[in-house]
Amino acid sequence: MRGQTPSFLLLSVLCLTQFYVEPQCSADEWPQWRGPNRDGVWNETGVVERFEKPQLEHRWSVPVSGGYSGPTVANGRVFLTDRVTEPTEMERVHCFDWQTGRQIWSHSYPCTYRKVSYTTGPRAAVLLDDGRAFALGTMGNVNCFTAETGELLWKKDLQSDYEIRVPIWGISASPLIEDNLLILQAGGADGACVVALEKTTGVEVWRALDDRASYSAPIVIEQAGQRVLVVWTGDNVVGLNPQTGKVYWKHEFQPRKMVINVPTPVIEGNWLFLSAFYDGALMLRLGQDKPTVEKVWRRRGASEKRTDALHAMISTPYLKGNHVYGVDSYGELRCLDAHTGDRIWEDLTAVPTNRWGNIHMVRNHDKMWMFNERGELIISRLSPKGFEEISRAKLIEPTTGQLSQRGGVCWSHPAFAYKHVFARNDRQLVCVSLAAD
């Protein structure tokens, strides 16, 4: 099973707060969607303050095929998924040596995309946990591997097992590990929108909700002294008991036109923030005495072009203190008052103002590292006073597989590990040193 032989949505948000437990891995790694704590925070020290040249030098580059999934990194290995169509349609899971790019193993399996728009490749990032690698494909194929060797431990076909209603842009929400459970937003029938599988065997432990699936990755928080699984589905934002699937709370978030919830929910203190392309922004307050929520405010413009507050598409916003920072529907970088949703400022220089214009934001201490869809890496600071660009350089070239417009895009989330950044387009996976020395 080791032959040599990613779309519109990617993986789709979240800030480290008192609600998170300590990571199970080194903060110098990137073992899952949006980093060690699933919050877009990179705690490395000793990295560059600014770039010396306009083009970053690749430590290594390896060829890959198309996909929207970003790389993940742990235990000296880099993981990535892609898709090929010749001689047959296959999804692939790759493992590379982080220092050289040498391929350690690769696994491929037949996968025909049916009724999926934007067919470049897989969306969900490979999840690394306790020596295992979990890969989720566009059509609902789940594979669990020994991370070191690529041995296939178990697999599951969500379509056959749960009769999933595959969203128009495919299964995208990156899986989550909670204790011994692998939690998936599957969109299955018979109350299986969310399913929890025993991570070592793939056996179902519980299922919950009759909602449609969205593209937003689930998170786990601590609320009122309890662990709460937060899932933004195609119909609601829901708080569940992660061990049983019991519903603690539910807040309706019905889409105006279609399910297009991509960013991950973000949390700061007792605030929970969400933003969608057509449906605008929602701020919820988390109960402190028991797991409940209440609406603080909801802002939605007349359309995705005439927006109010924030209509985020792919990029997960950043919530800090009394302010929200995020990228609007046409690439407008904005700051909002977290109490009201009122706009504080807007900047049009971080990325060209194209429809679905995207920036992935990763916080490193007092700086925000931004990877925009032009393949540029930007070191910056965000504050209520504005966007301060410190330095910018080209990391990787846009390609047209993910989007055939405007000369292509870079929509996949990068990984930051070992004082390096790892990024992909539809042709290559690259590694660049960010060490200060």
**Alpha-carbon distance 306 to 51, whole Å?**
36
**Alpha-carbon distance 338 to 325, whole Å?**
9
Q: State both tokens at 235.
A: 């119909």
**Alpha-carbon distance 344 to 340, whole Å?**
11
In a domain, 44, yes or no: no
Q: H-type helices in 299-345, by residue range?
A: none
**pLDDT tens figures, 211-237:** 999 999 999 999 999 999 999 999 999
Q: Please give the residue range of the domain that contains residue 288.
A: 60-433
In a domain, 149, yes or no: yes
Residues 268, 245 contacting (CB under 8 angstroms): no
**pLDDT tens figures, 236-285:** 999 999 999 999 999 999 999 999 999 999 999 999 999 999 999 999 99
Under the banding of pLDDT at 50, 70 and 90, the label for residue 14 is very low
Between 27-41, 64-78, 337-351, 414-428, the lowest mean confidence (pLDDT) is in 27-41
Sheet strand arrangement including 280-286: 266-268, 271-276, 280-286, 293-299
Q: Which residue has the tokens 């296959």?
A: 90
Burial class (CB in 10 A: 0-12, 13-18, 19+), 45: exposed
Under the banding of pLDDT at 50, 70 and 90, the label for residue 437 is confident
pTM score > 0.85 for this model?
Answer: yes
In a domain, 183, yes or no: yes
Residue among 135, 85, 91 at smallest CA distance from 109: 91
Burial class (CB in 10 A: 0-12, 13-18, 19+), 373: buried
Instruction: Write the CATH number for 195.
Output: 2.130.10.10
In a domain, 6, yes or no: no
**pLDDT tens figures, 400-426:** 999 999 999 999 999 999 999 999 999
In a domain, 33, yes or no: no
Q: Which residue has the tokens 């993940």?
A: 72
Task: Identify the pLDDT of residue 317.
Answer: 98
In a domain, 405, yes or no: yes
In a domain, 28, yes or no: no
**pLDDT tens figures, 363-410:** 999 999 999 999 999 999 999 999 999 999 999 999 999 999 999 999
Task: Identify the pLDDT of residue 47.
Answer: 98
Share above pLDDT 70 across residues of the chain, in percent, rounded to a whole number: 94
Query: What HEC string does 30-79 produce?
Result: ECCCCCCCCCCECCCCCECCCCCCCECCCCEEEECCECCCCCEEECCEEE
C-alpha separations of 100 from 126, 412, 416, 419, 436 in Å: 20, 21, 16, 15, 20
Q: Is pLDDT of 123 > 70? A: yes
C-alpha separations of 4 from 77, 242, 427 in Å: 17, 37, 16
Q: What total number of domains does the chain contain?
A: 1
Q: Is pLDDT of 18 > 60? A: no
**pLDDT tens figures, 198-212:** 999 999 999 999 999
Task: Identify the pLDDT of residue 7.
Answer: 38
Mean pLDDT computed over 144-162: 98
**Alpha-carbon distance 392 to 377, whole Å?**
6
Q: Return the higher-pLDDT residue of 14 and 423.
A: 423
In a domain, 216, yes or no: yes
